[in-house]
Amino acid sequence: MFTGLIHTIGIVNRRGEGLAVEGCEPFAPLKLGESVAVDGICLTVTGLLGSGFLADVSEETLSRTTLGMKAQRGDFVNLEPALRLSDRLDGHLVSGHIDGLGKVVSIEELSNSWRLEVTWNDFDYGRYICEKGSIAIDGISLTVGGCSEKGSRFWIAIIPQTWQSTSLKYLSVGSLVNLEADLMAKYAESLLRSLNVIPSGSEMNNLSSEVSKEWLAKHGWT
C-alpha cells in the first residue's frame, strides 16, 4: 500500500525478462521481497543493485501500463516505498494496481501552477471520477479539479513542488499515463453492487440520469 507521495525520480530499464530500477537512494536500503511503487505500479524487489533493484513483471502489467514502453527507452519514473502502518497518510490510499491508461490532452502553465487535463482511454472508468475526488497519475496522489459529466475527461491543478519533484514535468500533450482510481470509490461500488443497489459495469455511466428523490428513497438513502 502507498500514499501517492513521490520520494524521488528514478530510471527504469529492461533487464532480461524483468526490469532494473535505479535511483532509490532516498529510501535505501531495500530488502528482498519489499514493495516499491514505480510510476504507480507495485513491484516486488527480487534482486538488489547498487542504487536500486530488480523486479519481475507480468504480461498483464506490461499490457496495462506504460512500464514496458518506458523500460525500453530507459525513461524516468516516480518512485515511492511501501507505506508503514506508523506513517502519516499525507496523500490518499494507493494500492499500486493500475486500472488503465490515460492520455494527456492539454498542459497549461499558469502563474503559480500547471493545469493538466487527462482523458481515460477506457471511458467506463470515468464513473470513479468526481470533482475534488482523488486520482493517482503515474503514482502521484492528486485532486480532481473538475471533470466532464461522466468523468472520462478531467483536469488537475499541479503546484510547483509536485511539478518539480515528479516526472510530471516530462509530460507532453499525447503522453500516456498510468491511472488508478480512488480505492474507496471502487470498494463502495463493489459493496453496493453486491446489495443490488446499483447496476454493474458500463451501466453505471447511465446512473446519473436515473437518480431522483424517488430513487434515493427507494434505495434507503433518504
**94 domain residue, yes or no:** no
Domain count across the chain: 1
pLDDT for the residue 211:
59
CATH code (residue 48):
2.40.30.20
**106 domain residue, yes or no:** no
Q: How far apart are CA 88 and CA 52, in angstroms?
A: 25
pLDDT for the residue 201:
55
pLDDT of 173 over the 60 cut: yes
Residue 54 near residue 20, CB atoms below 8 Å: yes
**169 domain residue, yes or no:** no
pLDDT band at 195 (very low <50, low <70, confident <90, very high): confident
pLDDT band at 186 (very low <50, low <70, confident <90, very high): confident
- Selected residue with higher pLDDT from 215 and 154: 154
How far is residue 64 CA from its own chain's centroid? 12
Q: How far apart are CA 24 and CA 113, in angstroms?
A: 27
Closest to 31 (Cα-Cα) out of 16, 7, 47: 47
**pLDDT digits 0-9 by tens, 5-59:** 999 999 999 999 999 999 999 999 999 999 999 999 999 999 999 899 999 999 9
| CA–CA distances in Å: residue 5 to residues 74, 109, 205 | 22, 22, 30
pLDDT band at 207 (very low <50, low <70, confident <90, very high): low
One DSSP character per residue, 127-189 reads GG--TT-EEEETTEEEEEEEE-TTSSEEEEEE-HHHHHHSGGGG--TT-EEEEEE-HHHHHHH
**191 domain residue, yes or no:** no
Query: Structural domain of residue 21, as residue ranges?
Result: 8-81
**99 domain residue, yes or no:** no
**76 domain residue, yes or no:** yes
pLDDT of 70 over the 60 cut: yes
**216 domain residue, yes or no:** no
pLDDT band at 188 (very low <50, low <70, confident <90, very high): confident
In sign, the C-alpha dihedral spanning 194, 197, 200, 205 is: negative
Q: Which helix (H) or strand (E) holds 194?
A: helix 183-194
pLDDT for the residue 89:
79
Distant-in-sequence, close-in-space partners of 47: CB < 8 Å, separation ≥ 6: 32, 53, 54
**pLDDT digits 0-9 by tens, 121-165:** 999 999 999 999 999 999 999 999 999 999 999 999 999 999 999
pLDDT for the residue 198:
64
**149 domain residue, yes or no:** no
